Amino acid sequence: MRSGQNARIVGMPASGGSGAFSIGIGRLRAVMQRYISPILVDSVLQRALAAHPAATRAPGALHTLTEDCMIGLRLFVKEQELPQLMVELAEILEDDDGR
């Protein structure tokens, strides 16, 4: 892991919310880092969490944050890579639905 990669995202509770939510955020982060820099990943996640402050406690929280991130990612991901990224993010949500 790169230095600073384990740093807590501002706006996310230290406890990380529920275990399933934390795992989902970890997967979301890992996917995004394949397409954009860790700094941009943190920025996109922070904005999504700031827009939905109660998201770590709400049902469907991962869906809400992922949808918000999808919008932000369109600004930073190369156009030709965007469809594959969206497929990977959708797979995370499908896995979350099946838990």
For 47-84, write each residue's pLDDT tens digit: 988 888 776 666 788 888 898 898 888 889 999 999 99
Give the residue among 21, 99, 24 at the shortest CA–CA distance from 57: 21
In this prediction, residue 61 carries a pLDDT of 84
- In the chain, pLDDT over 90 holds for what percent of residues? 35
Radius of gyration of the chain, Cα coordinates, nearest whole angstrom: 13
Structure confidence at residue 28 as a pLDDT band (50, 70, 90): very high
Report whether 93 contacts 62 (CB < 8 A): yes
Q: Does the predicted TM-score (pTM) go above 0.75? A: no
Q: Is the pLDDT of residue 44 over 60?
A: yes
